[in-house]
Structure 1
Amino acid sequence: MNIAIIPARGGSKRIPRKNIKPFCGKPMIAHAIDNALRSEHIQRVVVSTDDEEIANIAIEYGADVPFMRPAALADDFTGTSPVVRHALDILLNKGWDIDYCACVYATSPLLTTSLINSSFEMLECAEETDYVFTAARFSFPIQRAILQTEDGGVKPFDEFGISQRSQDLPPAFHDAGQLYWGHYKTWLNTNKRIFGANSKMVVMPDHLVQDIDTPEDWARAELLYKVMQSESIK
């Protein structure tokens, strides 16, 4: 079977209790759970958390919480991959028969079920592909970025790129922070990198990408979500 793992620790600093704070009528994490459960390619949704309240809400919305994440994997410095590997190790030891695993972020209310499906289908059809993940295009060429010096002056990020025309520079992309698909064996292989040469991007439209780290981010995400709902984007 295919599963989705949703990492959701309780210690959010910038927006306290972010993973379960009400977002357009229900806890933030409930949107990720609902979208994953509606996918025809996902049979079970697992929430990895260190927080009892998050666990109870996840179960209420249909997710499994078969273990509690240890504190050592719930600090500000632990990345996503170790959390997914920890979850897979436990589930496999419990006898779960897992094929593919999606990592869905708890704070991804703009992620749609149709995108979860199409991303999986891309991975399934692409031989030698390790991961498929959501990405977004930078709106301005990063080669023309400017850095501020310690004395308050400025310097180019890229001495060559700063002098080039925007249209002559290749586009650059960044992780959208929503979804990562991979076979469970790929996740467990520490030599396989999500952002490696054998991965593929699903480039998202701008209106479906929003980091949620500040109150302003939250407000914009709610506006975008309401527009999605009014246009019945699934």
Structure 2
Amino acid sequence: MSTVAIIPARGGSKRIPRKNVKPFHGKPMLAYSIAAAKASGLFDRVVLSTDDDEIMVLARELGAEVPFTRPAKLADDHTTTVAVIQHAVQALQEAGEPVSMACCIYSTAPFVQPRYLREGLEILSTRPDKSYAFSVTTFSFPVQRAIRLDHAGCIDALYPQYRNTRSQDLDETYHDAGQFYWGRAEAWLRGDILFSAAALPVVLPRYLVQDIDTPEDWHRAELMYSALLQNGDIGA
């Protein structure tokens, strides 16, 4: 039975065009996820799922396999991660690859570290009752104290019941870090829900987490990466 990394990288990113191949700190963004997967030493195969010819060529140059083309119906803005990994696992199994564990690594995760990929597999392997293990991190501010603007442009509490609760008395909350998702092959194929009690957390420090969805995000991420590299916090 094999353990595979599956890196989704469609061609039609909207907010940052060609995000997967755009240079980030001197390398194509896609290079970081492929390098982390290979450096982890965990995977029998590192596979890219894409619908884009240019991304296919680049991925192979970077050392990933592209054994199939993702169908157009799984490459639009509404396609879920689970659907993409389902397709990839099915395609590999139909080609004779006996997949047991599949790790989705996002192609725009330059902060992903091999040590946390290893931790994810270890956590999931010790809990046969669970389907997934994926990267999370803490919110930097209590979400229970969130505010919003009402129809008149005035401030309103999102959770009024917590207006007078001290922040230290509120439960710590976490969010998806958007880096990787370990899953058993059968869980992906069943379509088990990721954000549920079927999943285990791999807790990352906040300084290794940054969404990259807008040009502002991109600029912030490059500044963060430069600082982490200089401080020796990025590596295996």
Gaps (5+ residues) in structure 1? Answer: none
TM-score between the two structures when normalised by the length of structure 1 = 0.96
Q: Which deviates more from structure 2 when the two are superposed, residues 198-207 or residues 132-141? A: 198-207
The offset of 1:119, in angstroms, is 1.1
CA distance in 1 between counterparts of 2:53 and 2:3 reads 25
**Structure 2 counterpart of 1:197, which letter?**
A
CA distance in 1 between counterparts of 2:220 and 2:45 reads 30
Q: Does 1:99 align with 2:100?
A: yes
Q: Which deviates more from structure 2 when the two are superposed, residues 158-167 or residues 47-56? A: 158-167
Q: Does 1:212 align with 2:212?
A: yes
Deviations 1:15-41 (A, max 9, x none): 110001011121100110011011221
CA distance in 2 between counterparts of 1:147 and 1:86 reads 39
CA distance in 2 between counterparts of 1:89 and 1:8 reads 18
Q: 1:49: which partner in 2?
A: 50
The offset of 1:163, in angstroms, is 2.1
CA distance in 2 between counterparts of 1:111 and 1:144 reads 30
CA distance in 2 between counterparts of 1:195 and 1:55 reads 30
1:38·1:113 contact (CA, 8 Å) conserved in 2?
yes
- For residues 1-234 of structure 1, the aligned pairs below 5 Å read 1-190=2-191, 192-230=192-230, 231=232, 233-234=235-236
**Structure 2 counterpart of 1:207, which letter?**
Y
Deviations 1:176-202 (A, max 9, x none): 100000110111112x21111121111
1:2·1:42 contact (CA, 8 Å) conserved in 2?
yes
1:145·1:162 contact (CA, 8 Å) conserved in 2?
no
1:37·1:43 contact (CA, 8 Å) conserved in 2?
no
Structure 1 stretches of 4+ with a deviation exceeding 4 A read none
Distance 1:229 1:154, change over 3 A: closer
TM-score between the two structures when normalised by the length of structure 2 = 0.95
CA distance in 2 between counterparts of 1:220 and 1:59 reads 29
Percent pairwise identity: 47
Counting matched residue pairs gives 233
Deviations 1:9-63 (A, max 9, x none): 1111111100010111211001100110112211111111111000100011111
Gaps (5+ residues) in structure 2? Answer: none
2:119·2:202 contact (CA, 8 Å) conserved in 1?
no
